[in-house]
């Protein structure tokens, strides 16, 4: 059955050659119970490892069933061990987190048996070794003798022609040792059992052959009992481990040690969170880089549409109602001019700056105070962390502020246009820091909007005076002393005419802005001098008011007191904004996306961000892979013995890699699902983390799927790298490195 001819085993360590055993000649038959003894270091365990295929040899030839093995590769030895060898180890090599049943079952699952087909066989073997009542007990809770019985049961159930046992009684008391030897003797009648022991007295009464070794050589080979009729050699049957069994073992290993599971969970959770946070931050930067800027528009929202009528007339309320009926329209801001033109309100040294909107645009209720009841009452919308709200609220709520006179876009004077009272405050944002200034919104009545619209129209308009067929630029002011349709001018204007006669001459005022144009046809009714200035205008300080044109107040207001010519529509879905624009165009309305008016100098910057995003993400993933591998390798260090034991029991490189890959896959999937649930809770306000919530807005299904794929690839790479390490050497050398 087993024959060794001049077989030698050498070890190489840092240029030094050491002999495990030398020139061993030995022939063993089926049915023998062989005891190999000798002092420590005599080479008996090394010989056993070579016989069992756990270690290689360098010289001579070993025949198994008449076949040479000197040319065997590691894969050939794996096949040899699966067909011929069952091991019983001195240190048991059991899986402590498995039950007795699972330990015995393990070797069958690795050799391709189906779980449902082996139950009776396993229970019978467990009964043979006297452990039936412990079949569901974890091995870690058994005594040394009981553990050795489990190891014997695992070896027997494999049904190989050769059983090798290395010091099977070394850690047992005499009674347990005798029981173990008797069990092995019963098995030996139709198999070859080889036992290495330093205590020959325990075994010699059962042995058919005693071999004694010294200094790497056999010095005694005594055949006590000759085997007349050698039993037939029956190779152990095996198949490749089934996919179901791989997943069964992978899942079992995921949860069998709680501390390992939690540590791996933390590693994968960190990897996922780090990559998604980094990628989301770049997405946010990239998104912001697309905004560009515009001199005319402050609000460059991607869901904003500018609208005006094709006939240049103003919008009516009926037309607004029809626009609101469009399916994708979220809301309308009728006075578009207030979105992009800033308004300042002030009281003593306290001031706020922002946009003025109608009360109909207020969404939600106020957080402090109440809603307006009178025309001069307003709601202030401001950040929660605004300095004045946090520290000087009693000087704001129910206090009167003045709307400052505007001089154009984002510019205003200390001159008051109108007094208003803040009766309600609506807050937004977080309270992470304190700011002194931030953009606000003022929600006011329609009457206030009408007054302010006239002021804004004046600021945005250009005016030209046609006098004596020449365009002039003079200051025009309203004056209630002037009759309607008339104008009073400085007496010096008469010198523009040849005859110096200016009274009753026509005067035209042309006014235009981006919304409308207006023409006033007036007649010069009188001129003012220092002597009659007060009488004609009711004003003092003639010298400060020279070269001005005074017209009737109603004529003046006619130029600026206009309804809305341009408004803004905000859509619900940015993806369908083009369809909404088409619907508006069909209604006779000019419609343009506000982002079409931006000056985009961010193209190169955006490309740089994209390149950096890809490069940094790849580098981060690579760095995290090696960091996670080092951490997981430390975590799995306690599992090296487990996977080395799998190898000794017949698992191939692919088997070990796949089982570990499944274990890491399940763990990483659980951690990733947990992370997604965490993000979901943050986005829905269950967990208050504003930065994470903000970043998550820039992550979509594509990013989450890609991250999961990356996580799976990392799991596979780690399992492959770890498995390669386990298989880089012979099975016994790998095992010895870990014990």
* CB-CB contact of 479 with 363 (8 Å): no
pLDDT at residue 17, as a whole number: 83
Choose the weakest-confidence range: 112-126, 473-487, 682-696: 682-696
**Quick check: 292 pLDDT over 70?**
no
- The pLDDT score that the predictor gives to residue 22 is 93
333 DSSP β-pair partners: 568
pLDDT at 411: 47
Residues 6+ apart with CB under 8 A from 130: 149, 179
Q: How confident is the model at residue 684 (pLDDT cuts 50, 70, 90)?
A: confident
pLDDT of residue 735: 57
739 vs 313, more confident:
313
Res 609: pLDDT: 62
- Write the pLDDT tens digit of every residue in 296-311: 777 778 899 999 998 8
What mean pLDDT, rounded, does the chain reach? 86
The dihedrals phi and psi of 281, each to the nearest 5 degrees, come to -65, -45
Lowest mean pLDDT among 265-269, 447-451, 638-642: 638-642
The domains located in the chain, with CATH, are 2-239 (3.40.50.300), 245-287+604-738 (no CATH), 304-333+564-597 (3.30.70), 337-458 (no CATH), 461-560 (no CATH)
Better-predicted residue by pLDDT, 691 or 328: 328
Q: How far apart are CA 635 and CA 261, in angstroms?
A: 9
Ramachandran sector of residue 319 (left: φ over 0; alpha: ψ -120 to 50; beta: rest): alpha
Lateral strand order in the sheet of 304-309? 329-333, 566-571, 304-309, 589-593
* Per-residue pLDDT band at 294 (split at 50, 70, 90): low
Q: What is the pLDDT of residue 286?
A: 65
Residue 433 is predicted with a pLDDT of 42
pLDDT of residue 603: 53
Beta-bridge partner residues of 17? 12
pTM > 0.75: yes or no: no
Q: For the CA atoms of the chain, what is the radius of gyration?
A: 46
Question: For residue 410, what pLDDT is reported?
Answer: 46
pLDDT at 118 over 80: yes
Mean pLDDT over 710-736 rounds to 78
The per-residue pLDDT for 413 is 54
Judged by average pLDDT, the poorest of 217-226, 266-275, 412-421, 524-533 is 412-421
Whether the CB-CB separation of 610 and 283 falls below 8 Å is answered with: no
- The DSSP bridge partners found for residue 192 are 162
Q: At how many degrees (to 10) do helices 100-110 and 144-157 cross?
A: 30
Name the most confidently modeled range: 127-131, 388-392, 422-426: 422-426
On the question of pLDDT at 63 being above 90, the answer is yes
Mean pLDDT computed over 189-212:
89
CA distance 308 to 295: 20
Contact 564, 453 (CB under 8 A): yes
Inform me whether the pLDDT recorded for 438 exceeds 70: no
Find all residues with CB under 8 Å of 604, minimum gap 6, and list them: none
Instruction: Flag the least confident range among 374-383, 396-405, 626-635, 636-645.
Output: 636-645
Q: What is the pLDDT of residue 51?
A: 93
Judged against a pLDDT cut of 80, whether residue 61 lies above it is answered with yes
- Beta bridge partners of residue 550, listed in sequence order: 477, 488
pLDDT in the model for residue 604: 54
Share of the chain above pLDDT 70, in %: 92
DSSP state for residue 371 in the 8-state scheme: -
480 Cβ neighbours under 8 A, 6+ residues apart? 538, 552, 553
Q: In the predicted model, is pLDDT for residue 430 greater than 90?
A: no
Tell me, what DSSP letter sits at residue 698?
Answer: T
Average pLDDT, stretch 366-389? 92
Task: Give me the pLDDT at residue 418, please.
Answer: 86
pLDDT for position 437:
44
What is d(CA 187, CA 180) in angstroms, rounded to the nearest whole number? 11
Q: What is the pLDDT of residues 648-679, one digit of tens each?
A: 887 888 888 898 899 999 999 999 999 999 99
Give pairs for 281-288: CB < 8 Å, separation 24+.
281/695, 282/609, 282/612, 282/613, 282/616, 282/617, 283/613, 283/695, 283/698, 283/699, 283/703, 284/694, 284/695, 284/697, 284/698, 285/609, 286/606, 286/609, 286/610, 286/613, 287/698
Q: Using CA atoms, how far apart are residues 282 and 194, in angstroms rounded to an integer?
A: 65
Which pLDDT score, from 0 to 100, does residue 92 have?
82
Residue 635 pLDDT > 90: no
pLDDT at residue number 436: 39
* pLDDT tens profile 552-605: 999 999 999 888 888 999 999 988 999 999 999 999 999 999 888 776 555 555
Q: Element (H or E) spanning 195, and its range? A: strand 192-196
Of 362-366, 388-392, 714-718, 731-735, the range with the lowest mean pLDDT is 731-735
User: CA–CA separation, 678 vs 672, rounded Å?
Assistant: 10
Question: Token digits for 611?
Answer: 């390149």
Per-residue pLDDT at 289 exceeds 70:
no
Does the pLDDT value for residue 407 go beyond 70? no
What is the C-alpha separation between 131 and 102, in angstroms, rounded?
Answer: 13
**Start-to-end Cα distance in the chain:** 32
Write down the pLDDT at residue 730. 63
Tens of pLDDT along 482-504? 999 999 999 999 999 888 999 99
Distance CA 291, CA 169 (A): 78
Quote the CA–CA distance of 739 and 726 in Å, as a whole number.
13
Contact between 487 and 525 (Cβ < 8 Å): yes
From residue 155, alpha-carbon distances to 74, 82, 129 in Å are 21, 11, 11
Give buried/exposed letters for 150-180 (b at 16+ CB in 10 A, else e). bbbbbbbbbbbbbbbbbbbbeebeeebbebb
**65-92 residue pLDDT tens:** 889 999 998 888 888 888 899 988 878 8
- Which of the pair, 238 or 593, is modelled with greater confidence? 593
- CA angle centred on 263, ends 259 and 268, rounded to 5°: 145
């Amino acid at each position: 059955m087993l024959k060794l001819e001049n077989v030698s085993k050498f070890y190489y360590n840092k240029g030094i050659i050491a002999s495990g055993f030398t020139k061993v000649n030995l022939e063993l038959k089926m049915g023998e119970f062989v005891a190999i003894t000798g002092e420590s270091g005599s080479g008996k365990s090394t010989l056993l490892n070579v016989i069992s295929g756990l270690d290689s040899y360098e010289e001579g030839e070993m025949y198994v069933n008449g076949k040479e093995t000197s040319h065997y590769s590691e894969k050939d030895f794996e096949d040899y061990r699966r067909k011929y060898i069952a091991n019983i180890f001195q240190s048991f090599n059991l899986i402590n987190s498995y039950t007795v049943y699972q330990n015995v079952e393990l070797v069958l699952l690795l050799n391709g048996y189906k779980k449902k087909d082996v139950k009776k066989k396993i229970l019978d073997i467990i009964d043979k070794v006297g452990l039936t009542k412990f079949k569901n007990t974890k091995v870690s809770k058994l005594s040394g003798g009981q553990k050795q019985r489990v190891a014997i049961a695992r070896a027997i159930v494999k049904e190989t022609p050769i059983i090798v046992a290395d010091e099977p009684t070394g850690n047992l008391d005499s009674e347990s040792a005798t029981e173990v030897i008797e069990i092995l003797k019963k098995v030996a009648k139709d198999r070859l059992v080889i036992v290495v022991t330093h205590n020959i007295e325990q075994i010699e009464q059962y042995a058919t052959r005693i071999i004694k070794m010294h200094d790497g050589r056999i010095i005694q080979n005594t055949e006590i009992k000759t085997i007349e009729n050698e039993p037939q050699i029956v190779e152990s049957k095996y198949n490749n481990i089934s996919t179901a069994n791989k997943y069964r073992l992978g899942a079992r290993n995921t949860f069998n040690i709680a501390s390992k599971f939690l540590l791996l969970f933390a590693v994968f959770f960190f990897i996922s969170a780090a990559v998604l946070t980094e990628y989301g931050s770049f997405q946010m930067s990239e998104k912001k880089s697309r905004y560009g800027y515009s001199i005319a528009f402050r609000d460059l929202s991607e869901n904003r549409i500018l609208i005006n009528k094709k006939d240049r007339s103003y919008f009516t309320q009926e037309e607004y109602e029809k626009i609101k009926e469009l399916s994708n329209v979220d809301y309308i801001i009728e006075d578009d001019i207030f979105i992009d033109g800033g308004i300042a309100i002030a009281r003593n040294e306290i001031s706020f700056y922002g946009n003025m909107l109608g009360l109909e645009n207020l969404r939600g209720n106020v957080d402090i105070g109440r809603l307006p009841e009178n025309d001069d009452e307003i709601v202030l919308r401001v950040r929660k962390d605004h300095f004045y709200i946090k520290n000087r609220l009693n000087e704001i709520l129910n206090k009167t502020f003045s709307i400052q006179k505007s001089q154009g876009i984002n510019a205003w004077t200390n001159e008051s246009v109108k007094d208003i009272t803040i009766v309600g405050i609506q807050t937004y944002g977080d309270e992470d820091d304190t700011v002194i200034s931030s953009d606000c919104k003022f929600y006011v009545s329609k009457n206030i909007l009408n007054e302010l619209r006239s002021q804004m129209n004046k600021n945005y308009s250009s005016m030209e005076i046609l006098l004596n067929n020449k365009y002039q630029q003079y200051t025009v002011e309203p004056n209630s002393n002037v009759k309607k349709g008339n104008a009073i001018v400085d007496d010096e204007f008469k010198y523009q005419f040849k005859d110096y006669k200016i009274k009753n001459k026509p005067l035209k005022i042309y006014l235009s802005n981006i919304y409308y144009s207006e023409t006033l046809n007036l007649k010069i009714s009188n001129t003012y001098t220092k002597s009659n200035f007060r009488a004609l205008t009711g004003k003092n300080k003639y010298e400060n008011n020279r070269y001005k044109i005074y017209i009737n107040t109603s004529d003046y207001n006619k130029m600026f007191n206009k309804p809305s010519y341009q408004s803004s529509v905000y859509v619900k879905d940015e993806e369908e904004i083009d369809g909404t624009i088409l619907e508006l165009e069909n209604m006779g309305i000019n419609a343009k996306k506000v982002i079409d008016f931006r000056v985009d100098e961010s193209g190169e910057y955006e490309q740089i961000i994209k390149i950096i995003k890809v490069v940094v993400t790849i580098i981060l993933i690579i760095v995290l892979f090696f960091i996670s591998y080092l951490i997981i390798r430390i975590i799995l260090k306690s599992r090296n013995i487990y996977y080395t034991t799998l190898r000794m029991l017949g698992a191939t490189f692919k088997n070990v890699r796949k089982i570990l890959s499944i274990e890491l896959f399940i763990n990483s999937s659980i951690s990733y699902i947990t992370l997604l649930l965490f993000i979901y809770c943050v986005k829905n306000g269950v967990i208050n983390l504003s930065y994470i919530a903000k970043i998550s807005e820039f992550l979509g299904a594509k990013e989450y799927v890609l991250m999961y794929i990356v996580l799976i690839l990392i799991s596979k790479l780690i399992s492959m790298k770890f498995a390669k390490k386990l298989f880089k050497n012979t099975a016994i050398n790998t095992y010895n490195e870990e014990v």
